[in-house]
A and B are shown apart, each in its own frame.
Chain A
């Protein structure tokens, strides 16, 4: 199965500020009662977006001007906590194609990459600059370039960092590793037969 080569993500952006935004906040556990990931998008950030009666709380994702944003901006240690893939799935199903943050939790970064959703880091100052530009003009196009390792917006540009293994996988269209893993499966079973605990 041929995968897209993800070299660039271009779209409108929205900032959900804060550090240590955990996956429980991205998708509360009660919405994980599902046997497929379809339909998770509407529960993204549910408890910080909605009151108990279902009405809206003030939240960037509830603002009409940010509707259709496909790039999320945030702070440090984004996606910490639970390993639930439901979190990046909910972001993707909601329409996000990439996340720019000051830093990411490991498992979240791995899960997102495997879904073809780049997680790139930028400095706090640069994220603040993008957020300010988007605040002024929400229709602004923000462009993440994974080859040049830059993000450009409103005629400006800033450097981004991406874990090299993730960048390679995305730009070369091998972000879902299943094909490669299957190729290595016979080598794997040869090693497994040598490990006593696996053959017993």
Chain B
């Protein structure tokens, strides 16, 4: 019978059905970082448990590492303690740790693909909701809590209910100046922030066929912001050529048999989905958020919604709450909203192609007076290539601070934070109240190129106008 990739991977990793009806699912690859794993190691020690398959867990530090300080001890003693704790646990349990000294450190969702650890047909778990990123390779990847990290460490399995599969097809051609980030912001604005509850999203169609791996990762990354526990793209030649030659990719004869397996794991023609949604690429505009969840987005040419025009009492109160927090005026154009900070980075848009694309347009331009602009490569690897290509220099010359790898201002558990009610044009994935470190800080999500446009003009701007992106 024709099956989806999700069903094939799920079935291949099913250990058994548990008493409550959930599946005991084998987790092929486990990724950990310094914030959500120390407590899990603590639970392991309390219960006297051993790590079942230490060679299938990989660690790095990203959330709290300072991006402006390289040598230890870090200025924040709590951050320093957490990183040392992870180092100690990895040593004790025999886990590979991409520490800063290895040159391979970075945001966990950037490091996995970069190292070739993220592969098609695998199951992946990580104590971080953006684990869905890895689905870009045709893996089924879940964000999990700390107790589940303990479960995976102790048994290499976890208990989970099977998900339904919704295929989201984006066909046609994206208009110039429209990027992967706009595609996912558009999908979330269309289906809602909880539209994906109970589903894994399969992204497909001509747009995804043409997308690079990095663009696919940007979309899969934000599946969780649409409520979907996982999101994936079927593996194809683009996937295989990305993986070829990476440190953990199969080599020689093993490579050929891996590619054959990976091809076979893709969804079969004629398989059935629980739901199908079709989107026309030409309908997607450069999209920015105006509110306090990632679904509250509008085209850059649009206006800030007016609560009085809301279609329901619910919608009205959510618009009112968002506008009160964001200090934005209903009915006003979103374009022209003054910004204080521009942040380029995160697991959504902190990859090489993001910096490359922005650098193309940023050359010779300057960050507007009064705007603090920071660019943070998602991994040491990304930072290194940017330096080789002179991309860091383009950013510095334009007035950006160029940092070392980490999550930085995406969640501000490190020294990079908004202050007061500063407004940040951000390439990250969450605009929740207080997300960027100040309880009253404000975030507008957008694509990297739109962040650059905001940085150079000092306000939310249409990158197509700022950088003269034409129809060809």
Contacts and interface: CB of A to CB of B under 8 A. Distances in A.
A114 B161 CA distance: 13
Interface stretch (A8-16, A32-40, A61-69): A32-40
A188 B148 CA distance: 16
A177 B19 CA distance: 10
Interface residues on A, range: 35 or more
A106 interface: yes
Given A107-B144, A185-B52, A168 B20 contact: yes
A41 interface: no
Contacts of A164: 20-21
A189 B434 contact: no
Interface stretch (A73-81, A130-138, A139-147, A150-158): A73-81
B129 A82 contact: yes
Given A22-B293, A83-B145, A85-B36, A103 B15 contact: no
B229 A106 contact: yes
Interface in B140-174: 143-148, 150-151, 154-161
A30 B438 CA distance: 10
A178 B147 CA distance: 9
B42 interface: yes
Contacts of B119: 197
Nearest to A164: B21
Nearest to A32: B35
A148 interface: no
A43 B49 CA distance: 30
Nearest to B434: A47
A19 B318 contact: yes
Contacts, number: 213
Nearest to B163: A106
Contact of B147 (A25, A114, A168, A172): A114
Contact of B38 (A35, A47, A168): A35
A123 interface: no
B22 interface: yes
A111 interface: yes
B159 A180 contact: yes
Contact of A192 (B53, B78, B82): B53
B197 A178 contact: no
A55 interface: no
B321 A18 contact: yes
Nearest to B152: A181
B385 interface: no
Given A24-B434, A85-B147, A188 B159 contact: no
B96 interface: no
Given A77-B194, A177-B18, A188-B15, A110 B434 contact: no
Nearest to B19: A174
22 contacts: A18-B321, A24-B430, A24-B435, A33-B35, A33-B78, A33-B413, A37-B39, A80-B194, A83-B144, A105-B194, A107-B145, A164-B20, A166-B20, A178-B47, A182-B155, A185-B52, A185-B155, A185-B156, A188-B15, A196-B250, A197-B121, A197-B258
